[in-house]
Amino acid sequence: MQTNPLEFAVQPTSGVPIYRQLMDQVRSLVSSGRLKPGDRLPSVRQMAAELEVNMMTVSKAYTRLEADGVLERERGLGMRVPEATSRDAAAAPKASVAERQQELKPIADELATRAWQLKLTDAQTLDVVRQVLKDRKS
């Protein structure tokens, strides 16, 4: 399976460099199991075109992820998630739900602040979240 580039979202005006945002998101995809061993990532060119960012930015993210062992380079085919060797698989279990929820917390914090400013109730706020999740599935 190839990841659709639309499943990535970068904020160019964030203080976090775009390459690090990409690295974080690939890490999340791998630790959650969304990306499985053997899955291929979009080519540098594809990803850069889709996200409208500089190719060097994407290439830097991929190279660092390769150095960290999150991705491996397949000659002529691009980057993919490495097949886990049995020892690695034992050493690096998939992130638990709690761990993954933890990663979502900063964004939820921001959401909560904005919701408070807009004087929305919890139910009204969650409605928005539910609607967005539903729209994405359809």
Query: Which positions lie near other proteins, rule CB under 8 A?
Result: 12-20, 45, 48-49, 52-57, 60
User: How big is the CA angle at 105 (ends 55 and 70), to the nearest 5 degrees?
Assistant: 40
Provide the minimum distance between the beta carbon of 67 and other proteins in the complex, in angstroms, as a whole number: 15
The residue (of 34 and 45) whose beta carbon lies closer to other proteins is 45
Provide the minimum distance between the beta carbon of 20 and other proteins in the complex, in angstroms, as a whole number: 8
Supply 72's token pair. Answer: 């491996």
Q: Which residues contact 26 (CB under 8 A, 6 or more apart)?
A: 35, 41, 61, 65, 70, 71
Provide the minimum distance between the beta carbon of 18 and other proteins in the complex, in angstroms, as a whole number: 7
The residue (of 49 and 95) whose beta carbon lies closer to other proteins is 49
The residue (of 22 and 41) whose beta carbon lies closer to other proteins is 22
DSSP character for 38?
T
The residue (of 15 and 93) whose beta carbon lies closer to other proteins is 15
To the nearest 10 degrees (0 to 180), the angle between helices 18-32 and 97-117 is 130
